[in-house]
Amino acid sequence: MKVVIVGNNVAGTFSGQNLRYLNEDVEIEIFTQERYPYYTRVKLPEVISGKVQTNDLIVFKDDWYKDKKIKLNLNKRVIKIEPHQKKLFIEGENKPVTYDKLILALGSVPNIPPIKNAREMVGKGVFTLRTIEDTVDIKNYIEKSKAKKALIIGGGLLGLELANQIKDSNLDTTVVEFFPKLLPRQLDDECSAMLKEEIETKGIKVILKAATEEILGNGYVTGIKLKDGQIFEADIILIQAGIRATIDLAQNSGIETNRGIVVDEFLETSEKDIFAVGDCIEYKNQTWGIIPACMEQSKIVAASALGLRKIEYKGTTPKNTLKIVGLELTSIGIFDPSQEVGGGWDILKKADKKDCCYQKLVLKDNKLKGAILFGDNNAMSFVYKKMEQDVTKKELMEILELYIYKCSNCGAEYDETKMEVLFKDLPDEWKCPSCKHSKEGFNKN
Ligand SMILES: Cc1cc2nc3c(=O)[nH]c(=O)nc-3n(C[C@H](O)[C@H](O)[C@H](O)COP(=O)(O)OP(=O)(O)OC[C@H]3O[C@@H](n4cnc5c(N)ncnc54)[C@H](O)[C@@H]3O)c2cc1C
């Protein structure tokens, strides 16, 4: 049997690895339009600042493919699939490639919002970041144009990580975000405000509620104009405004698509023997765009393609970490129950504004459903281990180091899980609300 995989990043590569793990004999062939074997995109921003070299990104070199008996075809763009004849066509080649099972691991591309001149100015000062080539283009442009001011459109994870590396390349750096807060998909308002302060302390300017209307310039960029008329100057503009699943190949080949390539619980598409995996898929109206989802799906798709329909995909819990040195931030699962339907939600929160720490655990019916951990990662392994499991309030209080203090005079309690301010942060002159006993008269329960 021959399995052909299109796409050679996390999803395609690990699907190949899992296929080989499950079956010694199956013929595996990968096609990718990129020039490189599997490389990680995670450190692309660091290539721009020069902290990481392109070669350091390559995860699996030629030997790995030889060892796994996987034939890798670089620089090959698949332009058409004939599902009924089980054939696919490569750009510039006449002879079709045949397959028994096909896995589409086509990934995603950066989204360019409908901003006037944005598309026209790509390469002339406007850039997105997805591939090694993009880092080379950005670096070259900064050097050649002697750029001094950078604007990053998009205050999500990638926008902030990129802004940090651009700032480290000694450019005056500003992030403009459409929403009224940074990381709108990962953080609640309180934590987002704390993050903004920290980002600004690092020397990056942040402008919120900023709807970019137009890229300004004549042949090369000179800045942006917001919908409210404000103008910001820039020599280079980097757009990090989300991603779009790559669906065109599937769409042109008669495979059902929506926001992504639509798959069932075995990751099979609307066409028999054609599967899809990674950033390009849509399952139950959801798309992902994170590595943990690619890894999980690659196990299922490998089994499904081999006809072992034992594991069903149930979706992947969103898990995101901001990778800026000195800023520990992880958001996992549900962080804002007010956006969810149904009752039974509970929140345990510890906000230490002085030390810039914020920890929030979200429960539903005593099951851990999500967390935000900022500035203190001590609870991380607990959260990863206990997600979707039963937890007690007592163990959560221990993990977050939250306490109940008791007044030695009247027995009144100061329960940190219910208060906005930690006991230690109360002013010295604070008194027991019941008997007016001094703060020193309280003891940990
Ligand atoms: C800068 C950056 C940092 C990131 N950091 C993180 C992180 O810290 N944590 C995290 O979880 N995720 C992170 N991500 C997201 C993560 O990289 C993606 O989720 C992951 O790369 C998706 O893998 P994939 O294989 O599904 O798709 P992709 O990585 O998009 O790969 C798809 C491949 O298929 C090729 N292809 C598409 N169409 C064709 C065709 N017709 N013919 C041939 N080849 C084709 C594409 O060229 C591409 O090489 C980051 C992404 C970026 C850009």
CA of 423 to the centre of ligand 1 (A): 46
Q: Is CATH 2.40.50.140 what the domain over 404-444 is classified as, yes or no?
A: no
Give the angle 119-91-273 at the CA atoms, nearest 5°.
100
Query: Which ligand 1 atom is nearest residue 76's CA?
Result: 43
**Which tens digit of pLDDT belongs to each residue from 48-73?**
999 999 999 999 999 999 999 999 99
% of the chain surpassing 90 pLDDT: 88
| Domain regions of the chain by residue span | 2-42+57-110+244-305, 126-241, 326-400, 404-444
Q: Give the closest residue (by CA) to ligand 1 atom 7.
A: 42
Q: Give the closest residue (by CA) to ligand 1 atom 29.
A: 9
Is it the case that residue 179 has pLDDT exceeding 90? yes
% of the chain surpassing 70 pLDDT: 100
**Which tens digit of pLDDT belongs to each residue from 224-280?**
999 999 999 999 999 999 999 999 999 999 999 999 999 999 999 999 999 999 999
Q: Give the closest residue (by CA) to ligand 1 atom 15.
A: 290
Architecture of domain 2-42+57-110+244-305: 3-Layer(bba) Sandwich (3.50)
* Residue 400 CB–ligand 1 contact under 6 Å: no
Return the best residue to mutate from 32, 75, 329 for the ligand 1 pocket (most ligand atoms within 8 A of CB).
32
* Residue 188 CB–ligand 1 contact under 6 Å: no
CA of 79 to the centre of ligand 1 (A): 19
For the segment 128-152, the average pLDDT, to the nearest whole number, is 97
Is it the case that residue 149 has pLDDT exceeding 80? yes
Query: Which ligand 1 atom is nearest residue 319's CA?
Result: 11
CA of 429 to the centre of ligand 1 (A): 56
Is it the case that residue 341 has pLDDT exceeding 90? no
* Residue 131 CB–ligand 1 contact under 6 Å: no
**Which tens digit of pLDDT belongs to each residue from 290-319?**
999 999 999 999 999 999 987 899 999 999
**Which tens digit of pLDDT belongs to each residue from 389-445?**
999 988 999 999 999 999 999 999 999 988 888 898 899 999 999 999 999 999 998
* Residue 154 CB–ligand 1 contact under 6 Å: no
Q: d(Cα 370, Cα 318) in Å, to the nearest integer?
A: 9
Q: In what order do the strands lie in the sheet with 149-153?
A: 126-127, 236-239, 149-153, 172-176, 205-207
Residue 244: how many CA atoms within 13 Å on its side-chain side? 11
**Which tens digit of pLDDT belongs to each residue from 23-43?**
999 999 999 999 999 999 999
What are the tokens at 111?
């989204």
Q: Nearest 5°: phi and psi at 139?
A: -60, -45
* Residue 97 CB–ligand 1 contact under 6 Å: no
Architecture of domain 126-241: 3-Layer(bba) Sandwich (3.50)
pLDDT of residue 339: 81
Domains 2-42+57-110+244-305 and 126-241 share a fold: yes
Q: Is CATH 3.40.50.300 what the domain over 326-400 is classified as, yes or no?
A: no
* Residue 12 CB–ligand 1 contact under 6 Å: yes
Return the best residue to mutate from 36, 43, 246 for the ligand 1 pocket (most ligand atoms within 8 A of CB).
246
296: left (phi over 0), alpha (psi -120 to 50) or beta: alpha
Return the best residue to mutate from 185, 291, 301 for the ligand 1 pocket (most ligand atoms within 8 A of CB).
291
356 pLDDT tier (thresholds 50, 70, 90): confident
* Residue 370 CB–ligand 1 contact under 6 Å: no
Give me the chain's average pLDDT, please.
95
